[in-house]
Amino acid sequence: MKERTVKETAQRLLQCESAYILIHRSPDGDCIGSGYTLLYALRSLGKKARVLCSDAIPERYHFMLPEAETLEMFYPDLIVSVDVADEKLLGDSLLEEYEGRTDLCIDHHISNTGYAKELCLDGKAAAACQVVYEILREMPVTITKEIAACLYTGMATDTGCFMYDNVGPRTLHIIAELMEAHPDIPYASINRQMFVVKSMGRMKLDGILTNQLERYLDGACTLVCVTQKLMQEYGIDDAELEGIAGFPLQVEGTEVSVVMKEREDGAFRVSMRSADRVNVSAICQTLGGGGHVKAAGCTVSGTAEEAKRILLDAVTKGMAKA
Amino acid sequence: MKERTVKETAQRLLQCESAYILIHRSPDGDCIGSGYTLLYALRSLGKKARVLCSDAIPERYHFMLPEAETLEMFYPDLIVSVDVADEKLLGDSLLEEYEGRTDLCIDHHISNTGYAKELCLDGKAAAACQVVYEILREMPVTITKEIAACLYTGMATDTGCFMYDNVGPRTLHIIAELMEAHPDIPYASINRQMFVVKSMGRMKLDGILTNQLERYLDGACTLVCVTQKLMQEYGIDDAELEGIAGFPLQVEGTEVSVVMKEREDGAFRVSMRSADRVNVSAICQTLGGGGHVKAAGCTVSGTAEEAKRILLDAVTKGMAKA
């Protein structure tokens, strides 16, 4: 693996004729935003490009997609992944085809495993979209309205609407530049869709979860478990669960929040969030997962009680180090 | 009333020897932030200054206050109000003393009634703090860490953490400048306290309110009523209710949210929020209230059912105009 600067990455993209852009499974605003930004940029230069994802793009993000997607087949001379820290996160269907084949990875996760032949990584960037923006500035590409909407959405979603400490002056100057160039993008409406609007089922689920919050370690760790049964009862799907990871973090005094989501196979997909001092990426790494310092995840097997014990043990050890 | 530019206002402040700074009742992040910014700025120039409010400053905002407040009495040669759109909003105890006596008002509400002798109004500014920042740039004042924390908090809170459409490039450039000058302010922790953390009582109340949401006008208007009984049952006070106004706006399809809060005297303090097109300030004005286009309020008397009928009637008329 070779590390590449923003300039070298721009050159690499300019040299290709056609690209497949791989984004991670359970796609979020940042990987979709950075993936489609790249697609629009490459196409504006007369190149062929397609975004590939193991999962369907949730409807709330469809405004970022091209209005009429061309389905012409082509064989790419570049396979580039964006916002994919670990090859495993490509998901089964992409892995089957592209395992070990990523030429270039553009990312902002310090935990990036270096699976691609070339890596453009800025661990201080708030979002992959911020890295992609810097790369675009080194290319003869116009920041069109479509691109600006994608970049905004990625940076807004990965920062919790500019709330987290990954926001720096550079992030804000970029957002200001996007707004100056495209005052007609409905930024506030995008934010409302991303951060505020919930289905009635999700609202009711949140109400139920409030009564199921479990507090451990003198209240420093707040945990909640979303079972398959609950999801079926309130008729909500995975896409509607977005943002649930931060739910227990609302409780006063919480340092680490843990959300266990029961998968269909019975294992638990775990999301951890840190309020301030605790490095949840390190905690999740001890359980085979990873992520950012304040937002990470892992998967734990066993019964709910067994999984809880494993998680609380790891959190206790992790907090002792903080 | 004379309208004053930012420069003229800076001159006016530089000329005074001592000032009382009046902020509105039920103080929020913006009036506290802009009030204390002015206090720190004037004191740094050797002038005397005090912030006055009819209500106590909620604890979550105490980090903006001077560590040890001097209580020396003085008679001010300037009475300046910040973020106070209408003299009535000073609240009873300040009105008793200062009605008709405000020399200078610094504000960002287009609905400002012009009660002060001089008015520095920027209706496009995201927050009063943004106007105060521009004024400070015309004065020989250093943006200290205290001042930056106040300005940040005011601009963050009045924009819902940069979520609403009052955020423009200027707001973001200012925030970036504050971050560049003071990278050591815990911005993310401030945001967590302002936007995320809730008491367990408030979390449970939110859960209950989810089941009491009433939808009208084909779902375009979502309403909820917070009774004195509910507040007592969950042991929460007015300060803990902050942000409740936006609660019904989470429901998919909602254009106007209405939160009725029963006062101790039985009347209802009403907060209206607009998702997008509807001007709730105009609606509230028909009921004797006012505010911003997307965030306004009024007070309605009668039984809960009578008040609802009055409110829904006003919302129906207002939506017909949108």
The verdict on a CB contact (< 8 Å) between A172 and B167 is no
Which comes out higher in pLDDT, residue A213 or B322?
Answer: A213
Q: In the predicted model, what is the mean pLDDT of residues A41-53? A: 97
**Closest chain B C-alpha to A165 CA, distance in angstroms:** 5
Q: Which of B164, B166, B192 to mutate to test the interface with A (most CBs of A within 10 A)?
A: B192
pLDDT score of A303? 95
The verdict on a CB contact (< 8 Å) between A188 and B197 is no
What residues of chain B have any CB closer than 8 angstroms to a CB in chain A?
160-165, 167-170, 172-173, 175-177, 179-180, 186-189, 191-192, 195-200, 203-204, 206-208, 210-211, 213, 246, 249-252, 275-276
Q: Rounded to the nearest 5°, which phi and psi values hold at B210?
A: -55, -40
The verdict on a CB contact (< 8 Å) between A172 and B176 is yes
Which comes out higher in pLDDT, residue A156 or B264?
Answer: A156
**Residue B240 Cα distances to B31, B194, B204, angstroms:** 18, 11, 12
pLDDT score of B237? 85
By C-alpha distance, the chain B residue nearest A156 is: B163
Using DSSP, state whether A84 is helix, strand or coil: coil
Partners of B207 on chain A (C-beta within 8 Å) are 206-208, 210-211
pLDDT classification of B54: cutoffs 50, 70, 90: very high
Which range (A182-191, A236-245, A306-315, B202-211) has the least confidence? A236-245
pLDDT score of A70? 67
Of B162, B187, B207, which has the smallest distance from its Cβ to A207's Cβ? B207
For residue A62, count other CB atoms closer than 10 A to its CB.
9
Q: What share of chain B is helix, strand, coil (3-state, %, to 5)?
A: 45, 20, 35
Tell whether the model's pLDDT for residue B66 goes beyond 70.
yes
Q: Which of B152, B158, B172 to mutate to test the interface with A (most CBs of A within 10 A)?
A: B172
By C-alpha distance, the chain A residue nearest B215 is: A200
Q: Alpha helices, DSSP H only, in B144-247?
A: 145-158, 169-181, 187-191, 200-210, 228-233
The verdict on a CB contact (< 8 Å) between B275 and A249 is no
User: What is the ipTM metric for this complex?
Assistant: 0.91
Which range (A65-74, A292-301, B286-295) has the least confidence? A65-74
Partners of A188 on chain B (C-beta within 8 Å) are 163-165, 167, 276
Q: Which of B203, B247, B294 to mutate to test the interface with A (most CBs of A within 10 A)?
A: B203
**Torsion angle of C-alpha atoms B57, B60, B63, B66, degrees rounded to 10:** 10
8 Å CB contact between B298 and B288: yes
What is the per-residue pLDDT across B142-167, written as a single tens digit (0 to 9) for each?
A: 999 999 999 999 999 999 999 999 99
What residues of chain A have any CB closer than 8 angstroms to a CB in chain B?
160-165, 167-170, 172-173, 175-177, 179-180, 186-189, 191-192, 195-200, 203-204, 206-208, 210-211, 213, 246, 249-252, 275-276
pLDDT classification of B69: cutoffs 50, 70, 90: confident
Tell whether the model's pLDDT for residue B72 goes beyond 90.
no
Q: In the predicted model, what is the mean pLDDT of residues B14-42? A: 97
Smallest Cα–Cα separation from B161: which of B313, B8, B29? B29
pLDDT classification of A110: cutoffs 50, 70, 90: confident
Partners of B170 on chain A (C-beta within 8 Å) are 176
pLDDT score of B322? 74
**Closest chain A C-alpha to B322 CA, distance in angstroms:** 17
- Percent of chain B residues topping a pLDDT of 70: 100
The verdict on a CB contact (< 8 Å) between B165 and A188 is yes
Partners of A199 on chain B (C-beta within 8 Å) are 252
Partners of A179 on chain B (C-beta within 8 Å) are 167-169, 172
The verdict on a CB contact (< 8 Å) between B163 and A200 is no
Partners of B168 on chain A (C-beta within 8 Å) are 179
Partners of A211 on chain B (C-beta within 8 Å) are 204, 207
Of A160, A177, A179, which has the smallest distance from its Cβ to B168's Cβ? A179
CA distance B322 to B320: 6
By C-alpha distance, the chain B residue nearest A171 is: B176
Q: Rounded to the nearest 5°, which phi and psi values hold at B258?
A: -130, 120
The verdict on a CB contact (< 8 Å) between A206 and B211 is no
Tell whether the model's pLDDT for residue B250 goes beyond 70.
yes
CA distance B106 to B110: 12
Vertex A120: Cα angle to A69 and B176 (nearest 5): 90
8 Å CB contact between B189 and B153: no
Q: In the predicted model, what is the mean pLDDT of residues B299-308? A: 96
pLDDT score of A229? 93
CA A19 to chain centre: 21
By C-alpha distance, the chain A residue nearest B60 is: A252
pLDDT score of B321? 83
The verdict on a CB contact (< 8 Å) between B176 and A165 is no
What is the per-residue pLDDT across A112-121, written as a single tens digit (0 to 9) for each?
A: 999 999 999 9
8 Å CB contact between A19 and A80: yes
The verdict on a CB contact (< 8 Å) between A200 and B251 is yes
Q: In the predicted model, what is the mean pLDDT of residues A42-52? A: 97
8 Å CB contact between B250 and A198: yes
Partners of A173 on chain B (C-beta within 8 Å) are 172-173, 176
Tell whether the model's pLDDT for residue B110 goes beyond 90.
no
Using DSSP, state whether B282 is helix, strand or coil: helix
For residue A304, count other CB atoms closer than 10 A to its CB.
14
Tell whether the model's pLDDT for residue B65 goes beyond 90.
yes
pLDDT score of B70? 67
Which domains does chain A show, CATH number per domain?
A: 2-194 (3.90.1640.10), 200-321 (3.10.310.30)
**Which residue type does A156 have?**
A
